[in-house]
Structure 1
């Protein structure tokens, strides 16, 4: 739980419709509870990428993730009337772990039920499932 006076909701966004629904839900909940919202997008190099050469330069992975984060938040904020403060966080690493780390001091973690998964993600289980099993705060999984 957040020990400060400001409540905090962490929401994972990956550009998918499901994650945008989760962000809409989180903004509405934040408005009801007076919480701030921290939107987290994680990126990592694909398993097939190598330093010897790959489909795109390393900076492009991070830039693509930042663009997805900004477009998702801008779209949802445009569609949702909200005065809730929104902090955008882009981090390198596996999505589930990034969300678990970000929500360590949160009052609530919100994720979509399905995102832009990968074969790597399928091997470990879904992000929403890992968050539900390992988070130290309540988790809301929003279905489309």
Structure 2
């Protein structure tokens, strides 16, 4: 995946990543740069293609298209119309940390969600956020849950 500047955000369907998407879009608008939405997937996390019969194993391409369509839906639902903001969606069959760290090499900013579970655990970063903070090639913004 080629990223040449802009704000990168990691998105899945979790509440923390959806909040990160909104914050990343606001930051990209402030900076007047493109927003790159990165969705890493595996067979375990990919939504099953809707048109695939139950007894059939979907192909990699079918999974890829299903993840892309799901990600486009997520972006449309959260950001609505965004004529003032160029949005590029990158769907990658890869573990999340590797996809985000790779994208960070060309990004101005990487935005990730916080996955704390409340209480003491709420003070700690999730494993993906922690890896990004430690190893990203650009600044990282960890978006905490709203209270």
Per the normalisation by structure 1, the TM-score is: 0.74
Displacement after TM superposition at 1:63 (Å) = 3.9
Instruction: From 19, 29, 34, give the equivalent of 1:31.
Output: 29
Displacement after TM superposition at 1:82 (Å) = 6.2
Displacement after TM superposition at 1:113 (Å) = 0.9
**Local SS of the residue matching 2:101:** helix
**Local SS of the residue matching 1:74:** helix
Map of 1:13 onto structure 2: 11
Q: Is the 8 A contact 1:12 1:111 kept in 2?
A: yes
Map of 1:42 onto structure 2: 40
**Once superposed, what is the RMSD of the aligned Cα atoms?**
2.6
Per the normalisation by structure 2, the TM-score is: 0.73
Displacement after TM superposition at 1:45 (Å) = 2.8
The worse-fitting range, judged by mean Cα deviation, of 8-17 and 66-75 is 66-75
CA distance in 2, matches of 1:126, 1:72: 23
Count of residue correspondences: 123
CA distance in 1, matches of 2:74, 2:10: 11
Residue 133 of structure 1 pairs with residue 121 of structure 2: no
Instruction: From 66, 76, 79, give the equivalent of 1:74.
Output: 76
**Local SS of the residue matching 2:106:** coil
CA displacement 1:22-62 (0-9 Å, x = unmatched)? 0110111111111111000011233xxxxxxx994344543
Of the two structures, which has the highest relative contact order with CA contacts closer than 8 Å and spacing of 6 or more? Answer: 1
Which structure 2 residue ranges, 5 or more long, are not aligned? 45-54, 117-125
